[in-house]
Structure 1
Amino acid sequence: MKLLQNILKIVLPFLFALGILWWMYRGTDWQAFLSSVLHDMKWGWMLFSFVFGILAQLVRAWRWRMLLAPIGERARRRSCEDAVFVSYAASLVVPRSGEVLRCGLLKRADGVSFSKALGTVFTERVVDSLLIVLLTVAAFFWQVPAFKRFLDETGMDLRSFLGRFTETGYLVTIACIVAAVALVLTLVARYMKKGKKVLKNLWAGVSSLRKLNNLPLFLFWSLMIWVCYFLHFYLAFFCFDFTANIPPAAAFLIFCISTFAVLVPTPNGAGPWHFAVKTSLVLYGVAAGNAILFALAVHTIQTGLVVVLGLWGWLSTTYLQKKRIQSNKPSNA
């Protein structure tokens, strides 16, 4: 039974993602798509966006190390960086598994308490969730004047604007929301079933926020993570002529919407992310064919970066582990 559950954890998210992707790309001319990516896309902008994709993960690792210190858990900077790299790649296979895996890697590398580390990860998620909600609200109000101006210029009212959604589009949106809520409820139920010791250590991880020596720096790192994520996303707009002129404020709102889509438990948000980005771009006047091209190209290439960083982190972790084992062996006199 447990084996079946583990298999379903991998298979169901993939099937859900594949279902949405098939619906979105079922009529795609793949030869034209590849030609556009290889010849029309400005790769310099994509490579530039990689800088911020890497930096986002590094900053997350540095912030995590800050949270561990007040609860007496000393972790090396490189160990945290490698663990974060691997965690993102692992979540491509089993959604959300990376959060647990990076705690295990840090325990193996530096002897950090697994449950305390998991508590700090929970703290990270709370802080990140609050930040993205605040940023999304700010982005929405930032875009209200532009939204009104768009309706006036096109002669649309709100009903006709929302009518640009197809019935299937509404169904996909509802399915994504239900899946995200189910994930949250499952995680809450799982933590409630844990023993007192584990819950105590989880609370110790959460309470580390109050014991931070430099709270302003922690908040700065937290904000910088989202700044890097946004630049990683926004710079990709300049890869294509049809998205290059989208204003930063509009791009930021699209980024926030796509971030919520990643809450749906699919590998790296595949499917829901594509749908959210494509729909948002269409509402901002980008042709549907170009919008789905952008979503697929950007997600695929930037996911490749996650895989490369994950492999680097795993090789680095393995190498350092072997090096420590060899250094601890008694030398033959």
Structure 2
Amino acid sequence: MNKGIKKILFTVLPIALGVFLIWYFLSKLTDADKEAILNSFKSANYWWVFLSLFLGILSHLSRAYRWKFMIEPLGYKPKYSNLVFTVLIAYLVNLTIPRAGEFARASAIKKYEGIPFDNALGTIVSERIADVLMLLTIVGIAFFVQADFLFNSGLINPKQSIISLTIAGVIGLIAIALIRKSAHPFSIKIKTFLLGLLDGIKSILKMKNKWAFIFHTIFIWLMYVLMFYVVTFALPETSNLPFGAIIVGFVVGGLSMAITNGGLGVYPIFVASAFILYGVEENPAKAFGWIMWTAQTLMVLVFGGLSFLLLPLINKEK
């Protein structure tokens, strides 16, 4: 397939899927459902939503500060404001083109701080490795905290899970053995990717400010979880959810971001589905998902847009 067509499909399909899911979601709502969800929006306590947005801003500021620890060993001393604005721009770009934000971030910091694109991108990749490890940790916590619920509710069959994990493990070991010996271009790409991940982890562990980096990584993800958690108090129906439900909702919401740009159309459905499992009525659960997604998206649009405008203004000489 032509590379140009691939790029177009890579950009258009997630957005199209998100738009379709929004249409499908709305088409399945009865008039009573629409009225109930609208009433939830009207009656929500938006002070909790504003607190969530504040926590989100703190996470972005921390992410920018953490990035500094990756860049300084390269011999550069970037302005903190430039780091903040480029981080916010990356989030905005990711809403339109999946994963393009990382390239936009590296390009912007190259333009305004003179950091070579490849070096900047390498630091971003290392950051993402740390984020993936944190996400996997939270997924693990969610599973262990809610293992009894998942097993007792029948959502997960213990025997089938053990068999599936065993089969997956065997297949994984065979695949690793084959990839290590193979000279096929695809195998080489996988090996290069995995070695890159390993190098990224090593670079984090060897950096001068590794403990500060780890602190900010934990802080960022703590803010993410708290962003989600505090919004549950905005609606009476979600204000008494147990910790396990919060973590599960957060995890499935986060995973939805990988399906469409910014979780367009998917995030509210995934989060609502998780909350419904814990006894939240369907319409309030859907309302929560849409309130959470709308707030996050507006934050990215507003602050990302402002960053696009302010970044060149504060760097007029460059």
TM-score bracket for the superposition, by shorter chain length? 0.7 to 0.9
How far residue 3 of structure 1 moved from its aligned partner, in angstroms, is: 4.8
Determine helix, strand or coil for the equivalent of 1:280: helix
The aligned length equals 283
Cα 1:55–1:131 shift into 2, 3 Å? same
Give the alignment of 1:146-185 within 5 angstroms: 151=152, 158=154
Q: Determine the C-alpha separation between the residues in 1 that align with 2:199 and 2:306.
A: 31
Task: Mark the runs of 5 or more structure 2 residues left unpaired by the alignment.
Answer: 157-184
Q: Determine the C-alpha separation between the residues in 2 that align with 1:76 and 1:133.
A: 32
Which residue pairs with 2:163 in the alignment? none
2:212 equivalent to 1:217: yes
Alignment partner for residue 286 of structure 1, among 275, 280, 290? 280
How far residue 305 of structure 1 moved from its aligned partner, in angstroms, is: 0.8
Alignment partner for residue 268 of structure 2, among 264, 274, 287? 274
Which residue pairs with 1:134 in the alignment? 137
Alignment partner for residue 110 of structure 1, among 105, 109, 113? 113
Which residue pairs with 2:19 in the alignment? 18
Query: 8 Å contact 1:73–1:113 — kept in the other structure?
Result: no
Q: Percent identity?
A: 29
Query: 8 Å contact 2:91–2:101 — kept in the other structure?
Result: yes
TM-score (norm: length of structure 1): 0.77
Cα 1:134–1:205 shift into 2, 3 Å? closer
2:236 equivalent to 1:235: no
How far residue 25 of structure 1 moved from its aligned partner, in angstroms, is: 2.9
Task: Mark the runs of 5 or more structure 1 residues left unpaired by the alignment.
Answer: 152-156, 163-187, 326-333
Determine helix, strand or coil for the equivalent of 2:236: coil
Q: Deviations over 1:16-52 (max 9, x none)?
A: 1122333333233445544431x21111111111111
One-letter amino acid matched to 1:24? F
2:100 equivalent to 1:97: yes
Which residue pairs with 1:123 in the alignment? 126
Cα 1:71–1:203 shift into 2, 3 Å? farther
One-letter amino acid matched to 2:16? L
Cα 1:88–1:16 shift into 2, 3 Å? same
Query: 8 Å contact 1:57–1:81 — kept in the other structure?
Result: yes
Which residue pairs with 1:36 in the alignment? 40
Cα 1:273–1:201 shift into 2, 3 Å? closer
Cα 1:76–1:36 shift into 2, 3 Å? same
Give the alignment of 1:184-223 within 5 angstroms: 192=189, 208-223=203-218
Q: Determine the C-alpha separation between the residues in 2 that align with 1:95 and 1:31.
A: 34
How far residue 201 of structure 1 moved from its aligned partner, in angstroms, is: 11
Q: Determine the C-alpha separation between the residues in 2 that align with 1:138 and 1:5.
A: 37
> How much is the aligned-residue C-alpha RMSD, in angstroms?
2.9
Q: Determine the C-alpha separation between the residues in 2 that align with 1:307 and 1:105.
A: 18
One-letter amino acid matched to 1:36? S
Determine helix, strand or coil for the equivalent of 1:321: coil
Determine helix, strand or coil for the equivalent of 1:209: helix
Q: Deviations over 1:238-268 (max 9, x none)?
A: 111110110233202221222122222x110
